[in-house]
Structure 1
Amino acid sequence: MTPPPALHEVLAVVLRIREGRAGALLWQRALDPDAGRWALPGGTLGPDEDVETSVRRQLAEKVDVREVAHVEQLSVFSDPARVSGKRRIATAFLGLVPSDADPELPGDTAWHDVEDLPATAFDHAAIVAAGRDRLRAKLSYTNLGFALAPAEFTISALREHYVAALGHEVSATNLQRVLTRRGLLEPTGEVVPSGRSGGRPAAVFRFTDRGMRVTDAFAVLRPPARPGGPRDGVLP
């Protein structure tokens, strides 16, 4: 007997940096299978939709899509056993929300720390991990930091975003040097007043371009080489 055709679904790994932590947007399933577990936003591909149109439509049901600064196709997940019941093939996307955006969410939806996810439905934890890995890679060789940071920021604040996204230390001085050399940062002319400890006021910057582009195809943001060695990650 010929098996029934597989269903095609689209899923979105939506990530945001907030208070030094990377968070993923998940909603809690109310029905079986995997009732009570947390899942990625998404759903079945419509008969007249391409996958990007579908994921943007379904994201709009969970968040204000104007707050999503970047969306790109991530991967296809097609293991026959990835979900119970009828076979489903998933096309997953990565979406990024700036740290100063706070889209209104339905009651069943919340941000969760990617380092401490709750019990997730199906293979969604693995898909979140794939999205985090894609973000880490893209931060090395593109200007994608613009989609995580607010419109204006200090270098110290931008460094915290990169550290949270990458999961390892990065030098603020090195980060500024490399991003400036690539033409990605420009000063606004504003400064942030010094804190109680004194010191020079911190300059405020912004990204020169808020659309994703490759800046150095072979660059790698590397973690510290060894315990006891240099603390800062390295950008070439």
Structure 2
Amino acid sequence: MPRTIYRDQRGVAKFRHEVLAVVLRVSQADLEVLVTDRSREPFTGMPALPGGPLEVDETMEQAVLRYEDGLLDVSRLGHQEQLSTRSEPGRDPFERTVATTYLGLVAPDTEAEGKARWLPVRPSTPMAFDHAQAVTEAVVRLRGKISYTNIAYALAPAEFTLAQLRDVYQAGLGHDVDVTNLSRVLRRRGQIAKTGHREESGLRGGRPPATWTFTRHDYEVTDPFAVLRPTLRGHQ
């Protein structure tokens, strides 16, 4: 089907502007993205990011929250930021559409609501429109920022063991993380502190591990030159 192109009386192109939300969480050391399955053409049945066109009386920030509301508890969003603008002329086969994407992060126990579900992030997973590329951009942004900021607070539980925190960083960075090195770096930066509590004892018995929390729950650049790289064998 050919795309429809509209112009005003002066010949200036008129087009649709939409927002898209790339909301990520960590589950079992795996990144997941919030999606709904499309019920109409184009791309019927394929997973798609929450989003849609702006109203004339709202900002993009208001619009993205409106589309997220009902698909998850928006009060659980620990962090949200504008990601990019996608303006490829053919990204929507029906009409000229420009999309502004947002990266949102939530804790592991955040449930999908309504028609939404959590989809494991995989490079090979097909998605509607160019939404797979938007997810890739979001993951790249997260992997860059998780090294030099405290942004992991938005993906972690309020209280966590160091093993659970390692899972968050492994999912965010995309490679194995040594828990001892990680805790040393974050404690040196003053990013985490003990809560004084311990995790409930499991079936294995033994002394339950201590729980920790982030010292701040708002975004902060903690080490602008840091890069958390994979641990090399023999150099732990």
Task: Give the TM-score taking structure 1 as reference length.
Answer: 0.89
Distance of 1:198 and 1:58 partners within structure 2: 45
From 158, 165, 186, the equivalent of 2:165 is 158
Which amino acid counterpart does residue 69 of structure 2 have in structure 1? A
Give the C-alpha shift of residue 26 in structure 1.
Answer: 0.7
From 64, 67, 90, the equivalent of 1:55 is 64
Which amino acid counterpart does residue 24 of structure 2 have in structure 1? L
Distance of 2:199 and 2:157 partners within structure 1: 15
Q: In the alignment, does 2:221 pair up with 1:205?
A: no
Distance of 2:200 and 2:99 partners within structure 1: 48
**TM alignment of 1:34-49, pairs within 5 A:** 34-49=43-58
Give the C-alpha shift of residue 163 in structure 1.
Answer: 0.7
Q: In the alignment, does 2:147 pair up with 1:140?
A: yes
Question: Secondary structure of 1:153's partner?
Answer: coil
Contact 1:7 1:89 in 2 (8 A): yes
Give the C-alpha shift of residue 132 in structure 1.
Answer: 0.8
Show the counterpart of 1:11: 20
Q: In the alignment, does 2:176 pair up with 1:169?
A: yes
From 74, 89, 106, the equivalent of 2:114 is 106
Which amino acid counterpart does residue 79 of structure 2 have in structure 1? H
Show the counterpart of 2:38: 29
Unaligned runs of 5+ in 1: none
Show the counterpart of 2:199: 192
Question: Secondary structure of 1:169's partner?
Answer: coil
Show the counterpart of 1:88: 97
Contact 1:38 1:118 in 2 (8 A): no
State the number of aligned residues: 227
Give the C-alpha shift of residue 230 in structure 1.
Answer: 4.8
**Per the alignment, do residues 167 and 230 of structure 1 end up closer, same or farther by CA in structure 2, a change over 3 Å counting?**
farther
Question: Secondary structure of 2:45's partner?
Answer: coil
Unaligned runs of 5+ in 2: 1-6
Q: In the alignment, does 2:143 pair up with 1:123?
A: no
Which amino acid counterpart does residue 210 of structure 2 have in structure 1? A
Give the C-alpha shift of residue 203 in structure 1.
Answer: 1.5
Distance of 2:32 and 2:135 partners within structure 1: 10
Which amino acid counterpart does residue 67 of structure 1 have in structure 2? R
Contact 1:10 1:92 in 2 (8 A): yes
Give the C-alpha shift of residue 117 in structure 1.
Answer: 6.1
**Per the alignment, do residues 4 and 35 of structure 1 end up closer, same or farther by CA in structure 2, a change over 3 Å counting?**
farther
**TM alignment of 1:207-222, pairs within 5 A:** 207-222=214-229
Question: Secondary structure of 2:14's partner?
Answer: coil
Show the counterpart of 2:88: 79
